[in-house]
Chain A
Amino acid sequence: MTSVAAEMAKAAPWNDPHARPYVELVRVSKFFGDFKAVDDVSLKIYRGEIFCLLGASGCGKTTLLRMLGGFESPSSGRIYIDGEDMSGVPPYERPVNMMFQSYALFPHMTVEQNVAFGLKQDRVPKAAIRERVAAMLDLVKLGEYAKRKPSQLSGGQRQRVALARSLVKRPKLLLLDEPLGALDKKLREHTQFELIGLQHQLGVTFLVVTHDQEEAMTLASRIAVMDHGEIAQAGTPTEIYEFPSSRFVADFVGSVNIFEGKLVEDEPEYVRIASEEFGGTIYVSHGISAAPEATVWAAVRPEKILMSTTPPQGADNVARGAVQDIAYLGDLSIYLVKLATGKVVRITRPNTTRHAEAIGWDQEVYLSWDPSSPVVVTR
């Protein structure tokens, strides 16, 4: 977990009913004709957060951001920034800067002029402008490209100019629409940490759109997972990953094995699920709220499944299968194990030694997990 998340978790404002949100969306919807791009979204974002919107392409992330920036007005619902109702407030009067997904760099201006644009608009003194622009260009590693036009830059360089242009004004709220999508892995990680550093330094509140869940995990104090215009779940990265509220969230964030089954024992401390897909019963050491005999799904993360060649103890949470495929990724390996029921289960194991694994192709293995590992979801 990152420092931002860790720090904010200490005094998590979202757990404090009296904390005042910096940005608040109240039942916001947006229609394009008959099409509902954003569906009844309510969100509270607190000062100093790096809040990530995560979702598949076309799920309404950009639309939500554009409403916050003032480029689109909600069809219904209200948006408050710093307690002020934003309806009818034009973009140039909002304490917000947006980095556009398509960058929207001014083609007739140099990199330098693009970045300086917002500061000039605010009548910042010339010397201060020069200093801040230079510092910002250094930050995004574009110092030597200051005099170039956007058309003379690569895609990733353009993205960095757009980022610099939105950051340089140090607004209270920064809306970043896929800010790092075009950067290579190294530069992306570097910039992620720069963003976190900037957040510390300036106390800016970030709302970052991404469809890269790893990036969301790295950056975010909290994540909202969007699905077809709705917020499927909002919470800290840990909550989202370890306690997904639905199959969609469990599947969208990280990879997961999902077993469909019937609730056969429903006690406050544990539940037992009979799953045909799993070929046995799944014992989970926490209670859930569902009707008896209901169809539920047990979600188990690949890294939480233990794999052995000898039968483990106990009858629950154990299945037999054969290794179908192994993918070696260096730091860890992915195993695809085909159960007797036909279900293919994904397992990851860290490569703790440099020697070839004892478990090979087509080998018969036993799978098991701790009763606290599965998450039971009802939808």
Chain B
Amino acid sequence: MKRLRARFSGRGLVVALPYLWLLLFFVAPFVIVLKISFSEVDLAIPPYKPLFSWYAEHALAIRLNFNNYAFLFTDKLYADAFLNSVKVALVSTILCLLIGYPMAYGMARARPRTRNVLLLLVVLPFWTSQLLRVYAWIGLLKANGVVNNVLIRLGVIHNPLALLYTPFAMYVGIVYSYLPFVILPLYANIEKMDWQLIEAAEDLGCRPWQAFYKITLPLSRNGILAGSMLVFIPAVCEFVIPTLLGGPNSLMIGRILWDEFFSNRAWPVASAVAILMLLLLVPFMMWYQSIQARETAGPSG
């Protein structure tokens, strides 16, 4: 009886831990940001007016300020930035899938020893900081960078191409950075698949590509979804890569947030942007969750 209780409370503790973590590092900051988003700018430290103030003697005054949100809807810049972020994230996700799927598939079909080497190669970039790797792309793409020099040396072009500070460079940076996040879940998913299913499909008359389309692809749906989410959500908020590679015209919501926060010191507006960004992502996450839930609740599919 005693042991049972001890085990029970132990389990409770283990379950409570992640919740505690979420409370401390997600809910609390979120509440703070939410609070700031409803306050007014002030020339102070921190640069906003308190939300709650003691009015007269004992009356608590709450001044909710919706102007920050209203402001986001009046200035077209923000809507454009939102839309552009979604577009960039979507295109990046699709590119990552198109490049990552064949890579994951190849890895899963490779011989076990080759497979481990390939896996190591995919994870290897994580050993250096992402910032450094993005800087490396500047070195590759700039006017007298490696890519241009090689192309000129080969005689393909005569004048250096403007690669850096273009949407192209930004996509290169994002796809490059997030590719492992697509490859790893896809690999884990495809690797588990029973190859005899492909044989069975071919036996029943499928050509290899038909077998891929009818068997492999549907069975790797979970990997595709997981990989997409892992790229799409951070890519929407991405700001380092658009700033460093994308040039002045890459209007990303993450970048706007940064500018509002650090350049304009407009914390309330920045917070409002952050809250809206979160709201934007909630439907995607809910959709993903519902699919995952259906998958685990029903028979394994």
Residues of A that sit less than 8 Å from B by CB: 69-71, 90-92, 96-98, 100, 102, 104-108, 117-118, 121-122, 149, 151-152, 165-166, 169
Contacts and interface: CB of A to CB of B under 8 A. Distances in A.
Contacts, number: 63
Contacts of B218: 108
Given A92-B206, A149-B299, A100 B201 contact: no
Interface in B171-205: 194, 196-197, 199-205
Give 4 closest A-B pairs by Cβ, nearest first.
A118-B204, A121-B205, A104-B200, A151-B299
B210 A104 contact: no
Contacts of B199: 69, 71, 91, 100, 104
Contacts of B207: 92
Nearest to A71: B199
Contacts of A169: 204-205
B219 interface: yes
A244 B40 CA distance: 99
B204 A104 contact: no
Contacts of A108: 218-219, 301
A6 to B, nearest CB: 32
Given A102-B196, A104-B194, A108-B301, A91 B219 contact: no
A151 B202 contact: no
B277 interface: no
B300 interface: yes
B194 to A, nearest CB: 7
Nearest to A117: B204
A208 B202 CA distance: 20
B196 A97 contact: no
A339 B219 CA distance: 63
Contacts of A70: 202
B215 interface: yes
Contacts of A71: 199, 203
Chief secondary structure at chain B's binding surface: helix
Interface in B77-118: none
Given A71-B199, A107-B219, A121 B204 contact: yes
A118 B210 CA distance: 12
B203 A69 contact: yes
Contacts of B200: 98, 100, 104-106, 165
Contacts of B194: 102, 104
Contacts of B300: 107, 151
B215 A104 contact: no
Contact of A100 (B196, B206, B219, B301): B196
B219 A97 contact: no
Nearest to A90: B202
Interface string B195-232: 01101111111110010001100110000000000000
A124 to B, nearest CB: 11
Nearest to A97: B203
B218 to A, nearest CB: 5
Contacts of B215: 106
Interface hub of A90, A91, A122, A152 (most chain B Cβ within 10 A): A91
A352 B218 CA distance: 61
A147 B301 CA distance: 14
Contact of A97 (B197, B204, B210): B204
Nearest to A69: B203
Contacts of B204: 92, 97, 117-118, 121, 165, 169
Contacts of A149: 299, 301
Nearest to B299: A151
A235 B132 CA distance: 73
A122 B197 CA distance: 18
A121 B197 contact: no
Nearest to B194: A104
A118 B204 CA distance: 5
A71 B202 CA distance: 9
Interface hub of B200, B202, B218, B299 (most chain A Cβ within 10 A): B200
Contacts of A69: 199, 203
Contacts of A102: 194, 196
A30 B299 CA distance: 39
A117 B202 CA distance: 11
Contacts of B201: 106, 117
Contacts of B301: 107-108, 149, 151
A222 B214 CA distance: 38
Given A104-B197, A106-B197, A91 B203 contact: yes
A104 B299 contact: no
Contact of B203 (A98, A122, A152): A98
15 contacts: A70-B202, A96-B203, A98-B200, A100-B199, A104-B197, A105-B200, A106-B197, A107-B197, A107-B301, A108-B301, A118-B204, A121-B205, A121-B210, A151-B300, A152-B299
